Amino acid sequence: MSTKKIHWYKYAAPANFYPLAGKMVPWFTGVTIILFIVGLYLGFAVAPTDFQQGEAYRIIFIHVPAAWMGMFLYVLMAIYAGIGWAFNARLGSMMATAIAPTGAIFTFISLVTGALWGRPAWGVYWVWDARMTSTLILMFLYIGFISLQSSIDDPRRSDRAGAVLALVGLINIPIIYFSVQWWNSLHQGATIRIASKPTMAPTMLASMLVLLAACWMYSIAVVLVRVRCIICEREREAPWLAGAAA
C-alpha cells in the first residue's frame, strides 16, 4: 500500500537492534510512569468502594493485570524462543531469555496479591482453587525455563534447549489447566468460588485497563533494557559494540 518500505528484518540483527532499543527505552519508561500514575489515581482515588468487599477489592487493580501479564508473557516467550530456534535468529532467543524473568515476576506478584486479597475476602491466604493452582504451576514452568538456561554455559545450546522446553510447556499449559480444573471440581465442593463476578463500575474497569497497559509498557521497557544487556554480554567481541558504547 505505502510506497515507503521499512526493512524490518534489518532489526533482527543485534547490531541494528541495539541502538534502536536504546532509543525506545526512555519512551516506554515515560509512558509506563504516566500510565501507572493515572491508573493508580483512578483505582485508589476515583473508583468507588465496593459494597461487598470494601476497600480490599482495590488489590485487583494490581492482581488482574499481573495475572494476565504472567500468562501472556509465557506465550510471547515461547513464540520468541520458537522463532529464534526455527529461523536461527539470535535476537529471538535473546528476547525469550529477556522476557522470562519479567514473566516470572508478574506471576509471582499475581500469586502474592491473590493471597493478600484472599485473606480479607475468604478468610484464608491460600485455597487450592483451579486458577491459583494453575498459576502456581505456571510459575514452576518459568522457574524450569530460567534454571535450564542458566545451567547451560554455551549460549547456542542454552537458547535451543530453552526453546524446546518453552514449546513443550506451551503445549502442556491447556492440558494442565483443564486437569487442574477437573481435579478441583472433584475434590472441592462449592466452598469458595471466585467466579461470582459482579458487574464492574466503569471507573473500576477503566483503571484496570489503564494499569494493564502500564504493565505492558513496563514489560516492554524492562525487556528492552535486559535484551541490551544480553546483547552486550554475547557480542562483547564484536567491533560494532565498541563503537556503539563509545
Partner 1 sequence: MKRPSTLTMFSWLVRRDLILAWRRRADVLATLFFFVIVVSLFPLGIGPEPQLLRAIAPGIVWVAALLASMLSLSRIFGNDYQDGTLEQILLTPQPLFLVVLAKMFAHWLVSEIPLVLVAPLLGVQFGLSENTLATITVSLLLGTPVLSLVGSVGAALTLGLRAANVLIALLVLPLCIPALIFGAGAVDASVNGAATQPWLLLLAATLVVSFVFAPWATSAALRISLE
Shortest Å, Cβ 127 to partner 1? 17
Q: Shortest distance, CB of residue 84 to partner 1, whole angstroms?
A: 12
| Closest approach of partner 1 to the CB of residue 169, in Å | 7
Task: Kindly tell me which residue out of 14, 103, 114, 169 binds partner 1, with binding defined by CB under 8 A.
Answer: 169
Is 131 a binding residue for partner 1 by CB under 8 A? The answer is no
The contacts of residue 124 (CB under 8 Å, 6+ apart) are 118
Smallest separation, CB 55 to partner 1 (Å) = 36
Question: Applying CB under 8 A, does 148 fall inside the site for partner 1?
Answer: yes
* Residue from 183, 201, 205, 236 binding partner 1 (CB under 8 A): 183
| Residue whose cell numbers read 521497557 | 221
CB of 129 to partner 1, least distance (A): 15
Residue (166 or 208) nearer to partner 1, CB: 166
Could you say whether residue 151 binds partner 1 (CB under 8 A)? yes
CB 85 → partner 1: shortest distance, Å? 9
Q: Which DSSP helix (H) or strand (E) runs through 202?
A: helix 202-234
Residue 186 touches partner 1, criterion: CB under 8 A: yes
Assess 199 for contact with partner 1 (CB under 8 A): no
CB of 231 to partner 1, least distance (A): 22
Per DSSP, the residues of the chain read: --S----GGGGGSHHHHHHHHHHHHHHHHHHHHHHHHHHHHIIIIISPPBTTTBGGGGGHHHHHHHHHHHHHHHHHHHHHHHHHHHS--HHHHHHHHHHHHHHHHHHHHHHHHHHHHHHHHHSSS----HHHHHHHHHHHHHHHHHHHHHH--SHHHHHHHHHHHHHHHHHHHHHHHHHHHHHHHHH--SS--S---PPPPHHHHHHHHHHHHHHHHHHHHHHHHHHHHHHHHHTTT-HHHHHHH-
Judged by DSSP in three states, 194 sits in coil
Q: Which stretch binds partner 1 (CB under 8 A): 105-113, 121-129, 159-167, 228-236?
A: 159-167
H or E, element range at 155: helix 155-187
Question: Under the criterion CB under 8 A, does residue 156 sit at the interface with partner 1?
Answer: yes
Instruction: List the one residue from 60, 81, 132, 141 that touches partner 1 (CB under 8 A).
Output: 141
Interface residue with partner 1, options 53, 179, 188, 203 (CB under 8 A): 179
Binding site for partner 1 (CB under 8 A): 137, 140-141, 143-144, 147-148, 151-152, 156-157, 160-161, 164-165, 167-169, 171-172, 175-176, 179-180, 182-183, 186
